[in-house]
Amino acid sequence: MYIKRSIESIIKKTAKDYPVLLVTGPRQVGKTTVLKMCEKEKFNYVSLDKLSERMMAKETPELFLQRYKAPLVIDEVQYAPELFPYIKAIVDEKQESGMYWLTGSQQFHLMKNVTESLAGRIAVLKLLGFSQREKSDIKNNESFVPSEKYISYVLNKKIKNIEINRLYETIWRGSFPKINVNKNMDWEIFYSSYLETYIERDIKSLSNINNELTFVKFMTALAARTGQLLNYADISKDIGISEVTVKAWVSLLRTSGIIYLLEPYYKNISKRMIKMPKIYFLDTGFACYLTKWNTPEVLQAGAMNGAFFETYVISEIIKSYWHNGRQAPIYFYRDKDKKEIDILIEENGILYPVEIKKTDTPTKDDIGNFKILETSKLKIGKGAVVCLASNYIPLTEKVNILPINYL
């Protein structure tokens, strides 16, 4: 069974304008599958996960591209950066769009080689696991922003509410296509296998990790902090590794699409702003596995239910941008007095404040910190509280209550 991906329309549109298309994202989010579903003609296909093909691509890249002719899908292309200069030469000669479709799960190495070899010739798109929209078969290609235009668009879609037990089942299961398509798949076996594959294929190729158990302990410590400020010293003390190592390993997880660092808003709202980012796991199921929340019921009743609810909302907002070919212009605000606004979305010069609350009855007290923005010279748009409410209703003249299904 194939679940249609939101990014398909962007892939088809972008492939008409560029000779090379690169889709990046974590392993097993469906990069290759979605490219194959978007083919208008028969593409050749080759995966550099296979050692024989990888060796050929690295040692004789010109011969490799003679053997596998365009139009061509190259899977896990980061393993053979030697291909990029030869791809450049071919596309410069042919001057055709949609010649090479590439996938890769290690963005740092990919982007370094891409910018050096294929600048101006390649479009880069990011893909994560299934979004809430995709799993519900909702055709919503709008990036989330709590404007009147967006709300009117969603209202016209008549989207069904998400019942809380089903929501926590969704959060616990995670967004990887394989475990969502096959509901009978063993959750623990899937994520334990994913962890092992991720360390073997991505982490070991990016860094010299000598102690795999320590690295897993580190990942677990981060998962337990999803939705919190990223304090390198605190993690260093807990795991017994240096801050330098913590920073390097955080970079690895960010590079391979496992975590997202939400940066504080960079414009001067207050001189007392905290400059540390917040950390979020991009797949809540993987974070649940690492932190040993082994059933949705235990997760829903547990101490981290609010953190996972917030993480889920953040990841859904990010998908609404990435799966539409856009960067996510989202930030947060927190000052030294611990006054915080969960999300600030900057769109067309307007700043939209958003609070995330695991409640079905938010109050005006929940948006008290929005007043901080009134002292700035920034243009402030409609605010929102994303929550478990059943209906969209105004909370104040400037802030609306938005059910989570509106994402």
User: What are the tokens at 43?
Assistant: 């593409």
pLDDT at 381: 94
Strands ordered across the beta sheet of 228-229: 228-229, 278-281, 259-262
Query: How far does CA 118 lie from the centroid of its chain?
Result: 24
Strands 20-24 and 100-104: parallel
Strands 72-75 and 259-262: unpaired
H/E run at residue 261: strand 259-262
Give me the half-sphere count of Cα atoms (radius 13 Å) on the Cβ side of residue 387.
23
Number of CB atoms found within 10 A of residue 368's CB:
11
In CATH, what class is 8-126? alpha beta
Phi, psi of 49 (to 5 degrees): -65, -25
User: What are the tokens at 79?
Assistant: 């393993």
pLDDT at 255: 85
Residue 152 confidence class, pLDDT cut points 50, 70, 90 = confident
Output the average pLDDT for the chain. 90
Residue 252 confidence class, pLDDT cut points 50, 70, 90 = confident
Asked which of 134-138, 242-246, 318-322 is least confident by mean pLDDT, the reply is 134-138
**Residue recorded with tokens 């370094």:** 112
Q: Is 154 helix (H, G, I), strand (E, B) or coil?
A: helix
Q: CA 348, 352, 354 angle in degrees (round to 5)?
A: 150
Name the residue with higher pLDDT: 308 or 159: 308
pLDDT digits (tens, 9 = 90+) for 345-390: 999 999 999 999 999 999 999 999 999 888 888 899 999 999 999 9
Task: Report the C-alpha gap between 175 and 6 in whole angstroms.
Answer: 14
Query: How far does CA 206 lie from the centroid of its chain?
Result: 20
Task: Report the C-alpha gap between 60 and 54 in whole angstroms.
Answer: 10
pLDDT at 109: 58
Give the residue ranges of DSSP H helices in 95-203.
107-117, 132-135, 148-157, 164-173, 177-181, 187-198
Instruction: Residue count of the chain, please give it.
Output: 407
pLDDT at 377: 81
Phi, psi of 90 (to 5 degrees): -65, -45
Sign of CA dihedral 354, 357, 359, 362: negative
Whether 91 and 100 have beta carbons less than 8 Å apart is answered as yes
With CA atoms as reference, report the closest residue to 154 among 170, 166, 137, 141. Answer: 141
Query: How far does CA 121 lie from the centroid of its chain?
Result: 24
Residue 19 confidence class, pLDDT cut points 50, 70, 90 = very high
Asked whether the predicted pLDDT for residue 205 surpasses 70, the reply is no
Residue 137 confidence class, pLDDT cut points 50, 70, 90 = confident
User: What are the tokens at 257?
Assistant: 């699409």
| Residues 56-78, mean pLDDT to the nearest whole number | 94
Residues of the chain with CATH 3.40.50.300: 8-126
Q: Tell me 90's DSSP state.
A: H
The rounded percent of the chain whose pLDDT value lies above 70 is 95
Task: Report the C-alpha gap between 380 and 394 in whole angstroms.
Answer: 17
pLDDT at 271: 66
CA distance readout (Å), 81 to 58, 111, 118: 7, 10, 11
pLDDT at 201: 74
Asked which of 129-133, 198-202, 219-223, 341-345 is least confident by mean pLDDT, the reply is 198-202
pLDDT at 111: 63
Name the residue with higher pLDDT: 199 or 106: 199
Q: CA 71, 76, 77 angle in degrees (round to 5)?
A: 60
The rounded percent of the chain whose pLDDT value lies above 90 is 70
Residue 336 confidence class, pLDDT cut points 50, 70, 90 = confident
Residue 67 confidence class, pLDDT cut points 50, 70, 90 = very high
Instruction: Give one DSSP letter per residue of 182-245, joined into a string.
Output: -TTS-HHHHHHHHHHHHIIIIIHHHS--S-HHHHHHHHHHHHTTTTEE--HHHHHHHHT--HHH
Residue 155 confidence class, pLDDT cut points 50, 70, 90 = confident
Whether 190 and 176 have beta carbons less than 8 Å apart is answered as yes
Report how far apart the first and last C-alpha atoms of the chain are (Å, whole number): 24
Asked whether the predicted pLDDT for residue 108 surpasses 60, the reply is no
Those residues with Cβ within 8 angstroms of residue 176's Cβ, 6 or more apart along the chain or in another chain: 28, 29, 129, 130, 190, 194, 283, 285, 286
pLDDT digits (tens, 9 = 90+) for 21-48: 999 999 899 999 999 888 766 789 999 9
pLDDT at 247: 94
Name the residue with higher pLDDT: 163 or 296: 296
